[in-house]
């Protein structure tokens, strides 16, 4: 049963240790630090920002979407084109190789909690929830957002 203590938020952030002295990922059988441990929020944030920048460049090249802070500025509908490009990138890359461009640069990988690469269906569910943004800002005590909890995935460090 999940109770309120299992979840944090973007206000509190996931700490290194839970209230009962365990480290993030211990319940999942993951090491406390190093390769295979749960990635921190900051590293994951930089990874998604890299992916967003790449999606902006691709949307500019394919669809002529103006760059951010350009003249004329992008309209609301054009922002959804960038989000769509980001979604396609994530589904294809995470669903096939287990990592997006930003994840790769930051030394991260998405895997199934059961071990091994995330399946295409897990990547699809994770990406849909990630694009809704709200699930990404609510964490459990292992530092996994709802976009990782629902498809039963975890983002781990590779180095």
Is residue 89 within 8 Å of 95, Cβ to Cβ? no
Least confident among 44-58, 83-97, 140-154: 140-154
- The residue that leads in pLDDT, 111 or 7, is 111
Is residue 148 within 8 Å of 154, Cβ to Cβ? yes
Distance from C-alpha of 93 to C-alpha of 134, rounded to nearest angstrom: 22
Distance from C-alpha of 149 to C-alpha of 22, rounded to nearest angstrom: 19
0.85 exceeded by the pTM? no
CB atoms within 10 A of CB 34: 8
Domain residues of the chain, as ranges? 22-157
Least confident among 23-32, 54-63, 127-136: 127-136
Is residue 99 within 8 Å of 93, Cβ to Cβ? yes
Instruction: Report the alpha-carbon angle 143-90-139, nearest 5.
Output: 15
Q: pLDDT band for position 20 (50/70/90)? A: low
The stretch 89-102 carries a mean pLDDT of 96
SS3 108: strand
């Amino acid at each position: 049963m999940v109770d309120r203590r299992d979840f944090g938020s973007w206000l509190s952030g996931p700490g290194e240790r839970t209230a009962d002295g365990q480290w993030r990922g211990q319940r999942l059988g993951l090491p406390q630090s190093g390769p295979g441990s749960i990635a921190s929020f900051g590293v994951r944030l930089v990874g998604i920002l890299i992916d967003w920048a790449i999606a902006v460049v691709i949307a500019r090249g394919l669809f002529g979407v103006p760059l951010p802070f350009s003249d004329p500025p992008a309209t609301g509908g054009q922002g959804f084109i960038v989000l769509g490009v980001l979604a396609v990138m994530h589904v294809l890359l995470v669903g096939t190789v287990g990592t997006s461009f930003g994840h790769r640069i930051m030394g991260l990988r998405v895997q199934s909690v059961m071990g091994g690469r995330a399946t295409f269906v897990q990547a699809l569910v994770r990406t849909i929830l990630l694009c809704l943004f709200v699930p990404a800002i609510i964490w459990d005590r292992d530092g996994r957002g709802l976009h990782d909890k629902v498809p039963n995935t975890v983002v781990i460090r590779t180095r």
